[in-house]
Amino acid sequence: MSDKTSKLYAIVHCKCPHCRRGDIFTGSMYGWNIQHTKEVCSHCGQRIEIEPGYFYAAMYVSYAMNVIEMLIASFITYLIFGPLTESTFWHYLIVIFAGCFILYPFNYRYSRIILLHVLSPNIKYKPYYDK
């Protein structure tokens, strides 16, 4: 790796916001292994869940992500099937709910990552872990 691990790299690859090296999740995003959030970073020992109930705030981030995804799915459905009418109602409903269902693991993982990396002022990056 380079001398300094970028914040974008750490966010995309779900790395610890403190050292940007350790993994935050066990298991894959899509697969048979259920993804779990680790309690502490395996590289630097930073507690991932800073306080009890910390990740309840991730529900709000996930909600915002879901709304954006639903709007995009609705727009794509509009481009394909036309405006919402009685005959296209089920097309819209199926596309929107299928999108929510398929993107659930993505939203679960990245809502927590966004909360940790962007919305947590208490966790600061320590560049000495890059040495």
Q: Quickly list DSSP for 19-35.
A: TS-SBSEES-SSSSSPP
> What pLDDT shows up at residue 3?
63
Residue spans of the domains in the chain: they are 7-122
d(CA 15, CA 11): 6
Element (H, E) at 36: strand 36-37
The stretch 54-73 carries a mean pLDDT of 94
Higher pLDDT, 62 or 123: 62
Residue 58 burial by CB count (10 A; 0-12/13-18/19+): exposed, middle or buried? Answer: buried
Please state, in angstroms and as integers, the Cα–Cα distance from residue 88 to each residue in 33, 81, 93, 101, following that order: 37, 7, 9, 20
51 has a pLDDT exceeding 90:
no
Question: What are the structure tokens assigned to 100, written together?
Answer: 């929510």
Average pLDDT value over all residues in the chain = 89
Specify the 3-state DSSP secondary structure of 15: strand
> What pLDDT shows up at residue 109?
93
pLDDT range class, residue 127, cuts 50, 70, 90: confident
Answer yes or no: are the C-beta atoms of 20 and 2 closer than 8 Å: no
